[in-house]
Amino acid sequence: MSCGTIPGVAIIPVSWSGLRTDMLTQRLSNIVFALVIVAAAVWFAIEAQGFKAAGLLASSGLPSKFFPQLTLGFIILCAIVVIALYGTKKYAGSDVASTVYKNATEARQGLAVLAVAVASYIIWSKFGFIIMAVLMGPLCLVAMGIRSPKIYIVVLLLTGFVYVVFTQLLNIRLV
Amino acid sequence: MLANTEALFQAVTQLSQPITLLLLVLGIVIGLIIGILPGLGPPIAIALALPFTFYLDPVPSIILLLGIYSAAIYGGSISAIAVGIPGTGAAIATVQDGHKMFSAGRGGEALGFSLTGSIFGGLVSVVCLAFIAPLLAEFAVRFGPRENLAISVFGLMVVVRVAGQSLSKGLLMGALGLFLTTWGLDELNGTERYTFGSYHLYEGLPLVPFLVGLFAMSEVFISAERAHHKIQFNQSSLKVKLPGWSTLMKMKDVLLRSSLIGTVIGIIPGEGAAVGAFFAYSEAKRRSKKPEAFGTGIPEGIVAPETANNATVGGALVPTLTLGVPGSPAAAVLLGALIIQGLSPGTQLFVEHPDLMYAIFIGLFAINILMIFIGLVAIRFAARLIMVPTSVIVPTVMLLSFVGVYSVSNSFFNVGVMLGAGILGYVVRKLGYSIAPLSIGFVLGPILENSLRQSLTLADGSVQEFFNTPIGLTIYAALALTILWGPVSGRFKRRQIS
Amino acid sequence: MKKFTHIAAAALAALGLTAGAANADYPEKPITVVVSFAAGGNADIVQRLQAEEISNQLGVPVNVINKPGGAHIPATMSVLEAPADGYTIFNWSPPSFMVVPLTRDVPYEPLKDFVPLFASISASNALYVRSDSPYTTFEEFLEGAKENKLTMGVNNLGAPPNLSAVQMANEFGLEFKTIALKTVPATMAGLIGGQVDVAVGQVASIYAYKDEVRPLIILDNNRRAFFEKDLPGVRTVGEAFPGKEAGVWVHGGLAVKAGTPQPVIDKLLAASEVLGTDEFQAKLPKSVGYHWVHGPEGVTSLIQEGVDLYSPILDGLGLLHKK
C-alpha cells in the first residue's frame, strides 16, 4: 500500500499532517464519526429547547421541539451502539480492520473532485454560470489526473450540449 | 364502471385523432428525457408542457400530460440503473439492485427487467383505476391524520429492512433522515426550527436537491476515486434483454404484489411514488427465500420497486380525478391542467364527463403499451453507457446535477443543499453506512411528525379516540403480523423438526 | 455591424450598465413570474393563464416558477434578490402581502419593497358540513358546536380560511379541534371522508362536491357579486347576525420590485390591461373568483383595506406582530 501525505484529506474527521491512508482505518474513522454525531446531536437537542412558537395558532398536541428531540435521542442511542460495536473486538463486521481508502491515489482523486464541486459552487455564485460550467469539466479531469486531450474535448462538448438542452429546450435561465 | 357505449365511442374517436396520437408519442419522449435528467421529475415535466395545453382540447391535453407523467417516472429508473443516479425520487429504491447489476456487466438485462416491471405496474393500476375507481375513492377519503400515522409507522419498518449490513448504522441513518426534515418553519405553528437566521431555510431542506445530492453527488465522488479503473463487461451485456415468459411466471407474485402496493400507496393523498417503490422493495425482500441477496443486484430487487412506482400513476389519479385532491405533486399539476380546461375534478367529474373518463383509461393503457417500444429504444442507448469512461461521466453528471436542481425552482440555495447532502452522503458511504434508510427517513419525516401531532389533537387526550380508526388498526395489525411472523413461524418449524 | 452593436448592447444590458437604453427595448428576454404556491392550485393556474396572455402582449416568453412553502418568505425574497428590471415579477397573495407580514417578523415590507401592478384572483370563505350532517342550518350547527367540541378542517393554519374559522369561534363563543389538511380541496375531501365534522372552504368549492357537502353560511360581512352565482340563497354572517363580525380579504395579483424603472412598469401595466377584460375572464375556471383592480394606486388602497381589516382581528387573537 502506498504511503505519503495526502493533500486535502483534512475534510475527513481525523486529520493531522502526515496521515497515511493505511492509518485511516474503518474502526478509527467510524468511532470518530459516531462521536461527532453524538456531539452534534446533543448540540441540536439543546438548541431545540429554545424554540419559540411564532403565535398562538391552534395549539397542537405536541410542542415543536418534541419530534426533533425524539429523533436526536434515537440518533445518539444508535451512535453509542455503533461506538460500542467498533470498540469491542467481538464485532463481527467485516470492515473493522480495513481502511476507508484503498490507497492514496483513490483518496486524492475522490477528495479532489469533491473540492472541485465546492469550488464550482463558489465560482457560480461569484462569477456566474457560464464561467463555472466551462471550468467544471476540465477541473474535474485534472483532479482525476486525466491526461488525454480527447476526453477534455468530449467533456466540453457535453457541457455545451447540457447548456443548450436546459436553456433552449427547457427554457430555463442559467445565470 | 357503467357501460356507456356512446361515451365510449366518443372517447375512442377523440383518441384516434392524428393530433392526439402524435401528442401521445411526444409526451412519452419528453417525459423519458426529463425523467432521466437528475432533479427534474414528473411535476416539472408536466408543468413545462402545461402552457401548450391551453390551445388544445381536454382529451389531447390530458393524453400529452399523462404520457409525460408515466414516462418521466419510468425515465428516472434508466439513469438509476445505468449511472447509479435516480433521475426521480421514485427510482431511489431501484438504484440498490439496478446499478449493482449494471456494474456487474448485466446492464441490458437490468434495464429489461425495469422496463417490464414498469409496464406491468402501469397496466395493472390502469385496470384498477378503470374498474374500481369509485371504490378506491371511498378508501382515499378515509385517509386522515390517524391513518397517515399508521402508514408512516409501517414505513419505518421499511427503514429497518433496507438498513444494510448493520442494523444500528441503518437505524442511525433513518433517524438522521427524520431529524433533518424538522428543519424550517414548523408547519403546525410557524415556529422557526434550525433556520440559522436564514429565510432560505424557512421551507426546510428541499427534497429533490437533498436526494440528488445524497445519491448523485456521492456517487460522483466515489466514481472519481476509480476514474482509472477499467470496467469489466462483456459484449452481451450491451444487448437489451426482456425477461422471458418463464422468468416472468417465476416472478408473478412479486409483480402482482408490487402493482397492488403501488396502486394503493398512490391512492393515499400525499404519499408518492418513492414511498410506494420502497414499500414494494421491502415487501419483496421480506417474502423472499433469500432476503440477504437483495442489494447485491438481483432481478426481484429491480422488478419490485419499478412495478410499484409506475403503479402509483394510476393510483394517484384516483383521488385527483374523483375528489379533486392530487395524490402526488405531479398529479397536482395534472389537476391544474384539467381545471384550466374548464373541468371541475371532484365527485361530479365522471358523472358529467363519462367520455373523458373513458379517454383517460384507454389513453393510459395505450401509453403503457407504446412505452414498451419507445422505452426499448431508450434503454438500447442506456445499456451502452457502460462503455463511456468514468472520467467523462464524473464531470457530466456533476454539471447535470448542478443545473438540474437549480432548475427545479431557479434557486441557487438548492445547489448548496445538494452539495451539502452530497458531502454527507459521501462521508457516510465511505464509512459503511447505507444511504437508503436516510432517504426514506427524509421522505417519511414530515408525514410522520404532522400526522402524529394532528392525531393527538384529534384524540384530545383520549387513547380510545387516538385508535378510533379501523383502517389504521388494520395497518397496525398487519405491521404486528409482519414483525411477529418470522420468529413465530421459525419456532413452529423448529418444533416440527425436534 | 448593426448586429454586432445589437449584441454588444444586449451584453451591456445584461451587465446592468445601460439601464436607460434597456428600458426602451424592454422586454428583450424571457420574464419570470414567481408563484409562492405549489403548481396546480388556483393561484398557480390563474397565473399560468395570465402569463400566457402577457407573453402574447409583450412578445417574449413568460415563465412561471413555483417556490412554495416557508411561509411564502423564500419566494418573496427571491424576487427582491433579483434586479429591479421587470424580468422577475412576483405573484402576490394574502399570505405574502398580508397575513405573514402581520403575524411575524419578515425581512420585507410589502408596500415599500414592491410596486403592485394589479389585483385579480379573489375568494370568499364559506362554512360547509357533509350533506348527511344533522346540522341543516347555521343555527342548528351553533347549537351542536356548543354541546360538543367539533373537529374543524381548514387548509393551513394562519391562512384566510383558518382566520375565518377562528373569528367565527370567537364571535359565537365556540371551541374546535382544528386540523390543517393543506389545500382547500383536501379539506373538502377530508370533510366528505369524515376526518372533520365541519370545514371552511371557499364559496366556489361547491362545484366539485355538489352532492356531498352542504353550505351553512358565507363567512363574510357583506354580500358580493359572485355569491349568488356560486351559493344561491346562502346567507352571509353579516346578514344573518347583524353585529357579528366576519371579515375576509383574499386577493392576489402581480407586483414588481420597488425601483423598477417607470417605463417598464408602464409597459407591464399596458400588457396586463387585457387581463381585466370579459374575454379573458371567460377563460377562467368557474372555481375561481375574480375581482379586477388595475394600477398601483388602486391596488395599494385595496391592500391597505386588508391591513385595516385583519390588524384588529389578529390583535384580538394575540397574533398581531408588534414592531
Are B46 and B27 in contact by the 8 Å Cβ rule? The answer is no
**What is the phi/psi pair of residue C109, to 5°?**
-120, 115
Rounded Cα distance between B309 and B318, Å, is: 15
Q: Do C78 and B203 touch (CB under 8 A)?
A: no
What is the reported pLDDT for A10? Answer: 39
Contacts of B459 in chain A (CB under 8 A): 61
Contact call for B432 and A57, based on CB within 8 A:
no
State the cell numbers at C143: 347549537
Question: Is C245 within a domain?
Answer: no
pLDDT tens across the length of chain C (323 residues): 444 445 444 444 444 444 444 567 889 889 999 999 988 888 999 999 999 999 999 999 999 999 998 999 999 999 999 999 999 999 999 999 999 999 888 999 999 999 999 999 999 999 999 999 999 999 999 999 999 999 999 998 888 899 899 889 989 999 998 888 888 888 998 999 888 999 999 998 888 888 899 999 999 988 888 888 889 999 999 999 998 988 889 999 999 999 999 999 999 999 999 999 999 999 898 888 899 999 999 999 999 999 998 888 888 777 788 76
- Asked if the C-beta of A173 comes within 8 angstroms of chain C's C-beta atoms, the answer is yes
Count of domains forming chain C: 2
| C-chain residues near A55 (CB < 8 A) | 103-104, 158, 318-319
Nearest to B333 among C40, C49, C51 (CB): C40
**Interchain CB contact of B260 with A (< 8 Å):** no
Integer-rounded Cα radius of gyration of chain A: 23
Q: Tell whether B144 lies on the interface with C, counting CB pairs under 8 A.
A: yes
What is the distance in angstroms between the Cα of C277 and the nearest Cα belonging to chain B? 18
Q: Residues C172, C142: contact at Cβ < 8 Å?
A: yes
Q: Are C83 and C94 in the same domain?
A: yes
Radius of gyration for chain C, computed over Cα atoms and rounded to the nearest angstrom: 22
CB within 8 Å of chain C, chain A residues 10-69: 54-58
Do both C301 and C213 map to the same domain? no
In a shared domain, residues C134 and C110? no
Chains that touch B (3 or more CB pairs under 8 A): A, C
Q: For residue C185, list chain B residues with Cβ-Cβ distance below 8 A.
A: 323-325, 346
Residue at which a domain ends, from C240, C266, C290: C240
Q: Is there a domain that residue C15 lies in? A: yes
User: Is C318–A56 a contact, with Cβ atoms under 8 angstroms apart?
Assistant: yes
Together in a domain, C44 and C117: yes
> Minimal Cα–Cα distance from A30 to chain C, Å?
35
Examine residue C298 and state whether it is found in any structural domain, yes or no: yes
| d(CA A19, nearest CA chain B) in Å | 17
pLDDT at B300: 94
- Greatest CA separation for chain C: 83
Residues C41 and C101 grouped into a single domain:
yes
Is C321 inside any structural domain?
Answer: no
Is A169 part of the contact surface with chain C (CB cutoff 8 Å)? Answer: no
Phi, psi angle pair for B483, to nearest 5°: -75, -45
Nearest-CB residue to C319 (from A56, A171, A173): A56
Q: Say which amino acid occupies C255.
A: A
Contact B391 A26 (CB under 8 A): no
Candidate from B221, B402, B459 with C-beta closest to A110: B221
Residue A100 to chain B, least CA–CA distance (Å): 6
**pLDDT of res. A92:** 46
Q: What is the pLDDT of residue C183?
A: 86
Residue C85 lies in a domain: yes
The answer to whether B399 contacts A137, with C-beta atoms less than 8 Å apart, is yes
Pick from C240, C273, C291: which residue ends a domain?
C240
CB contact under 8 Å between C162 and A171, yes or no, is no
Within a domain: C280 = yes
Q: What is the pLDDT of residue B497?
A: 55
Residue percentage of chain B with pLDDT more than 70: 96
CATH code, domain with C179: 3.40.190.10
Q: What is the pLDDT of residue B139?
A: 83
Rounded Cα distance between A44 and A40, Å, is 6
Say whether B431 and A112 touch across the interface (CB within 8 A).
no
Subunits in contact with chain C (3 or more CB pairs closer than 8 Å): A, B
**Cross-chain residue pair A146–B426, CB shorter than 8 Å:** no
Residues of A with Cβ-Cβ distance to B186 under 8 angstroms: 51, 53, 64
Cis peptide before C27 (omega within 30 of 0): yes
Nearest by CB to residue A85, choosing from B168, B171, B191, is: B168
Model confidence at A91, pLDDT cuts 50, 70, 90, reads: low
The residue of chain A with its CA nearest to that of C180 is: A58
What are phi and psi for residue C218, nearest 5 degrees?
Answer: -95, 125
Interface test with A, best of C31, C319, C320, C322 (most A CBs within 10 A): C319
Q: Considering only the beta carbons, identify the residue of C178, C179, C208 that sits closest to B348.
A: C208
Q: How far is CA B37 from CA B25, B33, B497, C165, C320, in A?
A: 19, 7, 54, 44, 45
Backbone angles phi, psi at C88, to 5 degrees: -125, 115
Helix (H) or strand (E) run with residue B105 in it: none
Q: Measure A60 CA to nearest chain C CA, in Å.
A: 9
How many CB pairs lie under 8 A apart between chains A and C?
Answer: 25
Nearest Cα of chain B lies from the Cα of C294 at a distance, in angstroms, of 23
My answer on whether C101 and C168 are in the same domain is: no
C16 belongs to a structural domain: yes
Q: Do the chains contact at B396 and A155, CB–CB below 8 Å?
A: yes
d(C-alpha B54, C-alpha C208), whole Å: 21
Pair (C70, C209) in one structural domain: no
Same domain, C99 and C143: no
- Smallest CA–CA distance, residue C157 to chain B, in Å, is 7
Interface residue A97 vs chain C (CB under 8 A) = no
Query: In the Cβ-directed half-sphere of B361, how many Cα atoms lie within 13 Å?
Result: 21
B106: closest CA of chain C, how far (Å): 39
* Best mutation target, C152, C170, C178, C322, to test chain A (most A CBs within 10 A): C178
**Residue A146 pLDDT more than 60?**
yes
Collapse the DSSP code of C226 into the 3-class scheme (helix H, G, I; strand E, B; otherwise coil) and give the result.
coil
| Three-state SS at C180 | strand
ipTM of this complex prediction, to 2 decimal places: 0.86
- Residues of chain A with C-beta less than 8 angstroms from the C-beta of B395: 136-137, 140-141, 155, 158-159
CB atoms A172 and B407 under 8 Å: yes
> Domain containing C136: what range?
125-240
Task: Give the largest Cα separation in chain B, rounded.
Answer: 74
Is A88 an interface residue toward C (CB < 8 Å)? no
With CB atoms and an 8 Å threshold, state whether A55 touches C103.
yes
C-alpha span between A149 and A124 (Å, rounded): 25
Partners of residue B428 in chain A, C-beta under 8 Å:
33
Q: How many C-beta atoms lie closer than 10 Å to residue A88's C-beta?
A: 9
Let me know whether C62 and C133 are in one domain: no
Question: Which residue carries 394574502 as its cell?
Answer: C94
Question: How many angstroms away from the CA of A28 is the closest CA of chain B?
Answer: 10
Q: Which of C199, C217, C240 is where one domain is finished?
A: C240
Residue C158 has its nearest CB partner, among A57, A171, A173, at A57
Determine, yes or no, domain membership for C322: no
Q: Kindly state whether residues C160 and C94 are assigned to the same domain.
A: no
The pLDDT, as a whole number, for residue A61 is 67
* CATH number for the domain that contains residue C256: 3.40.190.150
Q: Nearest Cβ partner of B395 from A44, A75, A140?
A: A140
Do C189 and C266 sit in the same domain of this protein? no
Q: How high is the mean pLDDT in each 10-residue block of chain B (498 residues)?
A: 76 92 94 86 86 88 94 92 83 90 89 95 93 83 88 85 83 96 89 91 92 91 88 74 89 94 85 85 89 90 95 90 84 88 81 87 94 93 86 93 90 95 95 90 90 88 87 89 71 59
Query: Minimal Cα–Cα distance from B152 to chain A, Å?
Result: 14
Give every strand in the sheet of C62-66, ordered side by side: C62-66, C31-35, C88-92, C251-257, C114-122, C289-294
Q: Output the pLDDT for position B495.
A: 61
- Written as one string, the DSSP assignment of B331-348 is HHHHHHHHHHTT---STT
Residues C12 and C116 in one domain: yes
pTM of the complete model: 0.88
Alpha-carbon gap, residue B108 to C188, rounded angstroms: 47
